[in-house]
């Protein structure tokens, strides 16, 4: 990697914390509280972000919001491009999803294919009253008509660039870089 290709940090730990705090407040405001909410993170970093948002929602509202994980690997339509994806366990909180507002949480929104796969997976699991989408970084370049409800940072980027989210629980560092 040459000096020109070195990753550039676009969000530091404090920026990520601020974005998640804002997203949490927006979720509470749009839902009129934390009742009937379920957070489902998309592995790997989406699950970590969902747990953090769940903690913030409990802190701000006094209500424990169930947090789970939704593996979308086998629902993806691009497995031929990345066939070595290892499935992660899907963990649906007790009480299920039926009639509840589900907030899908992921780290980066790019083409929208992961979210389309998540919607397909949700359809096999239950019937939520509503589905919302919380994203730490929206980088554009959508291939499908999917728009997040809650965004930490809009980060216009070239298709050739790569946005990397590093979270302390997974990577040992806390930052978002673009290369």
* pLDDT tens per residue across span 133-171: 999 999 988 989 999 999 999 999 999 999 999 999 999
CATH number of 13-76+88-157: 3.40.50.2020
**Environment class of 18 (CB within 10 Å of its CB; exposed 0-12, middle 13-18, buried 19+):** middle
User: 29: part of which helix (H) or strand (E)?
Assistant: helix 13-31
Domain boundaries, the chain: 13-76+88-157
Q: Confidence class of residue 109 from pLDDT cuts 50, 70 and 90?
A: very high
Sequence-distant (6+) residues with CB within 8 A of 54 are: 39, 64, 65, 66, 67
Beta pairing partners, 9:
177
Tell whether the model's pLDDT for residue 70 goes beyond 90: yes
Q: What is the pTM of this model?
A: 0.92
């Amino acid at each position: 990697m040459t000096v020109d290709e070195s990753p550039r940090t676009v969000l530091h730990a404090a920026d990520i914390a601020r974005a998640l705090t804002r997203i949490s407040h927006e979720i509470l405001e749009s839902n009129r509280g934390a009742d009937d909410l379920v957070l489902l993170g998309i592995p790997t970093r989406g699950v970590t972000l969902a747990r953090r948002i769940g903690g913030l929602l409990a802190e701000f509202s006094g209500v424990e919001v169930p947090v789970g994980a939704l593996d979308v690997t086998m629902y993806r339509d691009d497995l031929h491009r990345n066939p070595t994806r290892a499935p992660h366990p899907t963990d649906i909180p007790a009480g299920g999803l039926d009639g509840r507002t589900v907030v899908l949480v992921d780290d980066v929104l790019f083409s929208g294919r992961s979210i389309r796969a998540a919607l397909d997976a949700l359809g096999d699991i239950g019937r939520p009253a509503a589905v919302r989408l919380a994203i730490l970084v929206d980088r554009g370049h959508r291939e499908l008509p999917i728009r997040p409800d809650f965004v930490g940072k809009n980060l216009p980027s070239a298709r050739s660039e790569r946005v990397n989210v590093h979270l302390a629980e997974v990577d040992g560092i806390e930052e978002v870089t673009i290369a």
